[in-house]
């Protein structure tokens, strides 16, 4: 695993309307991510208010799938969206216009997520703790997408414990590749 480019630590406060305090590696507060739920408990939006800079808004896209959210800047510029193709599928696709990413469970039996870039491989490692999260940025990726990946992964922390089929493919013990004639 490559040396992390940046490390973020996030402390979670609250239960129903949860607030995520985003700190850099030295413990300096970068901003607050607030998660809003409706009266049935469904997460409907999020808002990131940095200490300095632009406010980011995350909102649920219309649809039945749990991973359908979009990320917008303060000026209304679309920055990315997510899509979960099936109800029981644990992979979440993140679309940014230029590069597609996948959010998949961490390797082995651990609580966390990985953000996989299609061409360069693992870009971010997200480790979940009790009331806290540690994000290690392994490759160049926008801060907004780091935050978006954390938001999406924090919605389903119980789904990341079991390994994914991608791990078997990486080890070479996955499904046999077809032979060309």
Q: In CATH, what number is assigned to the domain containing residue 104? A: 2.40.160.200
Residue 64: give the domain boundaries. 6-169
Whether 177 is in a domain gets the answer no
Answer whether residue 100 is part of any domain: yes
Q: How many domains does the chain have?
A: 1
- Tens digit of pLDDT at every position of the chain (181 positions): 678 889 999 999 988 788 999 999 888 999 999 999 888 888 889 999 999 889 999 988 876 555 688 888 887 777 777 766 555 556 788 888 778 888 888 877 778 888 998 888 899 999 988 888 999 999 988 899 899 888 888 876 655 545 555 543 444 433 434 444 4
Residue 180 included in any domain: no
Residue 181 counted as domain residue: no
Q: Is residue 178 part of a domain?
A: no
Instruction: For residue 139, give both structure tokens.
Output: 């490759």
* 41 within some domain: yes
Prediction pTM value: 0.80
């Amino acid at each position: 695993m490559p040396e992390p480019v940046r490390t973020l630590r996030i402390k979670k406060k609250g239960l129903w309307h949860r607030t995520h305090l985003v700190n850099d590696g030295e413990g300096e507060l970068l901003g607050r991510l607030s998660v809003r739920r409706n009266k049935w408990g469904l997460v409907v939006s999020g808002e990131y208010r940095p200490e300095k800079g632009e406010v980011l808004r995350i909102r649920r896209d219309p649809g039945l799938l749990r991973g359908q959210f979009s990320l917008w800047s303060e000026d209304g510029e679309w920055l990315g969206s997510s899509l979960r193709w099936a109800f029981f599928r644990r992979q979440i696709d993140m679309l940014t216009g230029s590069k597609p990413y996948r959010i998949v469970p961490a390797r082995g039996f651990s609580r966390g997520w990985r953000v996989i870039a299609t061409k360069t491989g693992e870009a971010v490692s997200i480790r979940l703790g009790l009331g806290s999260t540690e994000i290690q940025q392994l490759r160049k990726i926008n801060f907004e997408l780091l935050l978006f990946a954390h938001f999406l992964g924090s919605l389903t922390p119980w789904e990341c414990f079991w390994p994914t089929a991608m791990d078997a493919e990486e080890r070479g013990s996955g499904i046999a590749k077809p032979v060309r004639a």
